[in-house]
Amino acid sequence: MADKVLTIVVPCYDEQEVLHETSKLLKNIIDDLIEQNKISVNSKILFVNDGSKDKTWEIIEQLQSQEKVFTGIRLSRNFGHQNAVMAGLSRAVWYSDMMITIDADLQDDIQKIYEMVDNFYQGFDIVYGVRNNRDTDTGFKRTTAEAYYWLMTKMGVNLIPDHADYRLMSKRAVEALLEYHEENLFLRGIVPELGFNTTKVYYKRKERFAGESHYPLKKMLSLAINGITSFTIAPIKVILYLGILMVLYGGGALVLLGLTHHMSDYRSLINSLWLLGGIQLITLSIIGTYVGKVFNDVKKRPRFIIEDDTYSDSMKKVR
């Protein structure tokens, strides 16, 4: 058992306030697991610096000079949370038997790592961390999140409710994940598509330890839209039905008008112009979003660019 390598992948964007605490707590867990003979002494904590503007990379460098369990990857600029996770996994998969992804801000219960590792040994390839309450989220975030999961499921997208990006994956699960080359990856939607033997561990999500959320409303909205448009063309079908309904209504009204000779009020005419114009713009933008996705994907641009990789350097040494 003790020869299985665990790598904990931590995406970091401007996390100077939390890194010291996070690294200390994660190291304790790794040490513990090594002591219990559950993981190899070559297990690592891999910080992926996603183009931070603050001292995040300096802190990571300092950490790795102190303890060999700390390693880092520095992306050449900010590529976004999902791509930072993928960058970390793309390297970790070379040397690890299991990988855990977790945010840097200690919102997810790191004590659940023990349970995740136990599940790995019971034969599970993917272990989802699932929040069993959202007390720390605002009422607004909670309602919108619930509505979103509901909508996604209705449209046929397989999402694990209340699961974010805290999960354990085996080497072969990560290898399968890396086969998905699409741009603007929505991990939460793709991981359940992989199949494999999966299970869940439940935890209570805490407040951010320090610093600020990097997911303001605008980013949340764009992640949500990306999630939908990456997995289903249901919105385009909705447009069709909407169009049919409108034609029926408009046609019917015309026939009635023709029969009764009623002149309609000009205000209702202006209102319906606005309504129709708005609906047209929305439908155009829905189609445009899909076309834009094709545009982005045909270019096959890299999802991330690695500038420094002290993780691989350190793993090559132990091999």
- The residues of the shown chain that bind Mg ion, judged by CB under 5 A, are 103, 105, 107
Which is closer to ligand UDP, CB of 223 or CB of 234? Answer: 223
141 binds ligand UDP (CB under 6 A): no
The identity of residue 8, as a single letter, is I
Contact with ligand UDP (CB under 6 A) among 5, 86, 104, 145? 104
**Backbone angles phi and psi of 162, in degrees to 5:** 60, 20
In the chain, DSSP finds a helix count (H) and a strand count (E) of: 11, 8
Q: Which stretch binds ligand UDP (CB under 6 A): 37-45, 75-83, 234-242, 273-281?
A: 75-83
Q: Look at residues 88, 121, 223 and name the one whose alpha carbon lies nearest to residue 164.
A: 223
What binding mask, one character per residue, do residues 34-73 give for ligand UDP by CB under 6 A, x or -? ----------------x-----------------------
Q: What is the DSSP string of 20-66?
A: HHHHHHHHHHHHHHHHTTSS-TT-EEEEEE-S-SSSHHHHHHHHHHH
Q: Measured from the CB of residue 279, what is the shortest distance to ligand UDP in angstroms? A: 32
- State which of residues 107, 170, 226, 310 lies at the interface with ligand UDP (CB under 6 A): 107
Instruction: Confirm or reject binding of residue 13 to ligand UDP (CB under 6 A).
Output: yes
> Which of 12, 106, 174, 201 is close enough to bind ligand UDP by CB under 6 A?
12
Name which of 40 and 107 has its Cβ closer to Mg ion: 107
Nearer to Mg ion, 81 or 303 (CB): 81
Q: Is 214 in the site for ligand UDP (CB under 6 A)?
A: yes
User: d(Cα 65, Cα 314) in Å, to the nearest integer?
Assistant: 11
Distance CA 165, CA 230 (A): 17
Three-class SS string for 76-120? CCCCCHHHHHHHHHHHHHHHCCEEEECCCCCCCCCCHHHHHHHHH
Q: Which of ligand UDP, Mg ion, none has residue 249 at its interface (CB below 5 to 8 Å by kind)?
A: none
Separation between Cα atoms, residue 190 and residue 92, nearest integer Å: 19
Closest to ligand UDP by CB, 63 or 286: 63
Chain residue whose CB lies nearest Mg ion: 105
Identify which of residues 38 and 205 has a Cβ nearer to ligand UDP in the complex: 205
Q: CA-based Rg of the chain, rounded to a whole angstrom?
A: 24
Choose the one of ligand UDP, Mg ion, none that binds residue 11, judging by a C-beta under 5 to 8 angstroms depending on kind.
ligand UDP
Q: Which residue has the tokens 């999966």?
A: 198
Which stretches of the chain bind ligand UDP, using CB under 6 A? Answer: 11-13, 15, 50, 78, 80-81, 84, 103-105, 107, 213-215
